[in-house]
Amino acid sequence: MDISMTRRRFLAQTGKAALATGIGGALLEACGTTSSSSSGPVTLTYGWWSNGPTKDNAMLAWVKEFEKTQPNIKIKAEILSWPSYWTKLQTTTAGGNAYDIIGMASSQAGTYMDEGAMYDLSTFSGYQDAIKNLRQTDLTLCSWKGKQYSLPVGIYVPLVGYNKDMLKQAGIPFPDPVTPMEFSAFKTMAQKLVKKVNGKYTQYAINVNDLGPLYASFTAMRGGQFYDNPVNPTKVLATTPEAIQGLADYQSLFTENLNPPYAEMATGAWGTGDTDSLITGKIAFARMGAFDFADIISKNQQDKIGAMPLFSINGKQVTIGNANSFGIFKGSKNPQQAWEFLKWAVQTGPDTTYAKLSDVPSDITAFSQMSTYLTPQVYVPTLTSATKGFQTDVITPHLQYGTDLLTVITDLTNGKLTPEKAGQQLVQKGNVDLA
């Protein structure tokens, strides 16, 4: 999924430790790569990150469906909070005892792929048959330097959810669910949703914490790009006119007080930037995604929460997200059995079920039929529209860049840096980090 403020901080704190662990090379060779040839029962470990109890329970039930197809393979699944999951994965890949089946978000995958912590799946029997109905763009986001380290089950495409009651109270019509709203029009509307009492803000228009790198989205909407290549970039292009304006667009959400202060986005009264922010009654707009749909249904919130695509600029809309996938730990003692799970997960039937609980499916058939099975159906046109503007978040093994990026963006949103100065610092520091 995207790197929110909280997630970027987590990476900044743990990145140096991850690089110091040396998860590739001799360590992986020492772990061994041979598969258990026993036909007896095998238990595989499996890891993923949490999106709340409704989705987590649905994922556990999904895994049980695989066990019905393979009576001799049992799966011990563990679902942890986002920071806890990546902390454990860093530690266990270094220690040689990571999950057999590794849940992977492409935005976090650079280090693991670059260090060879997972198998090149193209070497497994039946690989071509397994990928024949997967979208090539999704597969590309799970590969590195010519090797296929994981198989995609879906792409994370963020939407913008909104609190219908708050818009009604402000006399604001609901946004079009398919056609992206111009960013300038959004900001004009957003002013009506900000409240200040006795010098203190009590309501904001939006919480962008979980909406990913909006400065990069805005840059792309203005016809530029933030990196020379989002996959394993070597240069940051943050001093181009388009990037400077994209940084200014992002900064304006904070300097015009449409969004909570950067340090408060993920904690306290404003929620974390997902649908939890919307139900506070203090945030009108926030991120939502397909992984929220089941929870919205279970809480009967579909009449309270609306959805629209991310904004556009001059008619161009770009939604930055990532591919979610499964890989096999290079130190697994049962890689062939883990491969059976991966092959199952990317089939049309299982991927359709996965889509109901998480993401836009990577299977071509499941993708083409989304409107027939996703619920609440009212959100499907919005999801389909947003998918058209999908671009990947940056994928890099250079974790120091995440530390420097967080520092600069924090100073930008706090008004300590102009967009021009922020762009200069990102280029100066980023190009060293990415070299």
- DSSP bridge partners of 418: none
pLDDT of residue 2: 39
pLDDT of residue 27: 30
pLDDT of residue 268: 82
68: Cβ contacts below 8 Å, ≥ 6 apart: none
pLDDT of residue 9: 41
Q: Phi and psi dihedrals of 80, rounded to 5?
A: -120, 165
Contacts 24+ apart (CB under 8 A), 81-85: 81/49, 81/50, 82/1, 82/6, 82/7, 82/10, 82/49, 82/50, 83/6, 83/7, 83/10, 85/47, 85/48, 85/49, 85/50
pLDDT of residue 40: 80
Tens digit of each residue's pLDDT, the chain (435 residues):
334 444 434 333 444 333 333 333 323 333 333 344 446 899 999 999 999 999 999 999 999 999 999 999 999 999 999 999 999 999 999 999 999 999 999 999 999 999 999 999 999 999 999 999 999 999 999 999 999 999 999 999 999 999 999 999 999 999 999 999 999 999 999 999 999 999 999 999 999 999 999 999 999 999 999 999 999 999 999 999 999 999 999 999 999 999 999 999 998 899 999 999 999 999 999 999 999 999 999 999 999 999 999 999 999 999 999 999 999 999 999 999 999 999 999 999 999 999 999 999 999 999 999 999 999 999 999 999 999 999 999 999 999 999 999 999 999 999 999 999 999 999 999 999 999
Contact between 314 and 80 under an 8 Å Cβ cutoff? The reply is: no
Structural domains in the chain? 5-157+321-392 (3.40.190.10), 159-320+397-434 (3.40.190.10)
| Residue 197: count of CB within 10 angstroms of its CB | 8
pLDDT of residue 274: 96
Model confidence, pTM: 0.91
